[in-house]
Amino acid sequence: MRPMWRRILMVALLAFWTGIEILGGNPYWALLAGGIGVYAIWVFFFAFDVPDAIGDDKDRKG
């Protein structure tokens, strides 16, 4: 999930799904999807450590 657009897309999909569950009258599933969304925001935007492109040997191929 290194590219920013993937992280934004995942959070947007979770927010959309939470809205669908709220509109459908399913508070348990809305709470679950919303909780996962809040956790995703924390992991993807606050606790995410961008690896150094030059010094990171895991990203090198070959």
- Interval 11-32: pLDDT, tens: 999 999 999 999 999 999 999 9
- Residue 18's pLDDT is what? 97
Domain extent at residue 43 = 4-49
How many structural domains are present in the chain? 1
Q: Is residue 62 part of a domain?
A: no
The span from the CA of 38 to the CA of 57, in Å, is 31
- Residue 48's pLDDT is what? 77
Instruction: Work out the widest C-alpha separation in the chain, in whole angstroms.
Output: 52
Q: Is residue 56 part of a domain?
A: no
Q: Is residue 58 part of a domain?
A: no
The span from the CA of 30 to the CA of 12, in Å, is 14
Q: Is residue 59 part of a domain?
A: no
Contact 12, 20 (CB under 8 A): no
- Residue 49's pLDDT is what? 79
- Residue 61's pLDDT is what? 56
The predicted model gives 38-43 an average pLDDT of 95
Q: Is residue 28 part of a domain?
A: yes
